[in-house]
Amino acid sequence: MIQPSLTTPAAKYAMRADVHRFGLKDPSDVSGLSQAIEKGVVDPGKIVGVIGKTHGNGLVNDYTRGYLTLCLSQLIGDRLGVSAENVSKRIPFIFSGGVEGVLSPHYTVLTADSTKGATGQEKSLAIGVAFTPELSVSDVGRQSQIEVTAEAVRQALVAADIQSSEDVHFVQVKGPAFTLREIVAATDAGLSCAAHHPGKLMGFGRAASALGVAKALGEIPASQAKEASVLRDFSVYSSVASVSAGIEVRSNEIIVAGLSRAWSGPLTIAHRSMLDALDIGSITALAEELGLSPAPQIPAAKARRIRAAFVKCEAQRDGTIRGRPHTMLNDGDIDQQRHIRGAVGAIVAAVLNDTALFVSGGAEHQGPDGGGLIAVIAEKG
């Protein structure tokens, strides 16, 4: 069994989450985790998810996500004596390509274990995972994707033993993308796809998944968690969802991170919505809340307490930021997602004093339009 049973922690045993971040020289570089396993720092049987940022462009033709997934699932499978396929079916590997500007490629390994010790004292980082069934190309962006995502988020909440939606600080979803070849084949077979351009279909999938998260957490009424809202009504959003899409997965893989008294340990998590791409105040406020003393940059000694940071962002759809035009959406040379990741990633890095950030573009229905999300896991102050 490579994933601990998260649903029934024994009475006097708390669960305990841990988070390990490793640099990535190239997308096949799993030396960091390998050494951590050898040294006994990470127990491969306790890994419940991996989230990372790889070297590719983060668009349809980004194969670095699949490459790292293969290498990590083989490493973990080797250590556990199971097949790589078996590993990747049980552990979400959620990778986003694109380390524009100052960002640094890396991956973050999440573990969950039961541990002796009283619970109920203070809330600690809690993690739960779940998978939807496989999605076909014609499910993407549809009501069906909204529904199965909502159901899987509910399962992950149970797994994490998080009692209240208010204790949920980050819901990472990785859903399937499809190449033109697959879209054409589906259309030829009589299926109807939400979009025919592969990149655009990725957007539909992110959007529907975000609405599924919002529905599960009660952030929006069920009446708004509708296909009709997808990429249309941007006032409808989740403030904790972060959704990526990639051709290397076939179902929605979900990692919920929050706080729970059923868990113990040294880690906590907090988040903020970013109202727009320049909303540095939300970043410093979050750092303050975590006791990291931003001034405005977190000093190096405190920055070491950061275990992981997750950012979602997006080029503002009306072509402006605070009234002045940006050019990201007119650019035929560099994709808008690469622009905005490089920009918002740099602002967050400058405050956190840390460049190994998970920064992902395509924030449709994930935070206010033109804005996004920042969530940080850190050692308690």
Catalytic positions, please?
Answer: 174, 244
The single residue among 108, 284, 360, 366 that binds a copy of itself, judged by CB under 8 A, is 284
Buried b / exposed e over 27-51, threshold 16 CB at 10 Å, is bebbebbbebbeeeebebebbbbbb
Phi-psi sector, 257: left (phi>0), alpha (psi -120 to 50), beta: beta
- Stretch binding a copy of itself (CB under 8 A), from 64-72, 166-174, 218-226, 358-366: 64-72
Binders in 148-187 for a copy of itself, by CB under 8 A: 179-181, 184
Least distance (Å) between residue 60 CB and a copy of itself: 5
User: Cα separation of 267 and 313, whole Å?
Assistant: 25
Does position 85 interact with a copy of itself (CB under 8 A)? The reply is no
Least distance (Å) between residue 21 CB and a copy of itself: 11
Does position 290 interact with a copy of itself (CB under 8 A)? The reply is no
Least distance (Å) between residue 11 CB and a copy of itself: 43
Least distance (Å) between residue 103 CB and a copy of itself: 7
Beta pairing class for 320-321 and 324-325: antiparallel
Angle between helical axes of 198-216 and 143-160 (0-180°, round to 10): 50
Rg of the chain taking only CA atoms, in angstroms:
19
Q: 90 or 200, CB closer to a copy of itself?
A: 200
Binders in 94-123 for a copy of itself, by CB under 8 A: 99-105
Binders in 216-245 for a copy of itself, by CB under 8 A: none
Long-range contacts: 165-168, Cβ < 8 Å, 24+?
165/217, 165/218, 165/219, 167/123, 167/126, 167/258, 167/259, 167/260, 168/217, 168/240, 168/256, 168/257, 168/258
Binders in 254-283 for a copy of itself, by CB under 8 A: 277-278, 280-281
Structure-token match 């699932």, residue found: 73
Which x/- pattern, by CB under 8 A, does the window 118-147 give for a copy of itself?
Answer: ------------------------------
Q: Site size for a copy of itself, by CB under 8 A?
A: 76
The single residue among 36, 80, 275, 346 that binds a copy of itself, judged by CB under 8 A, is 346
Q: 36 or 285, CB closer to a copy of itself?
A: 285
Q: How far is CA 117 from the centre of its chain?
A: 30
The single residue among 17, 59, 76, 254 that binds a copy of itself, judged by CB under 8 A, is 59
- Stretch binding a copy of itself (CB under 8 A), from 10-18, 122-130, 191-199, 217-225: 191-199
Binders in 9-28 for a copy of itself, by CB under 8 A: 23, 25-28
Least distance (Å) between residue 87 CB and a copy of itself: 15
Which x/- pattern, by CB under 8 A, does the window 303-322 give for a copy of itself?
Answer: --------------xxxxxx
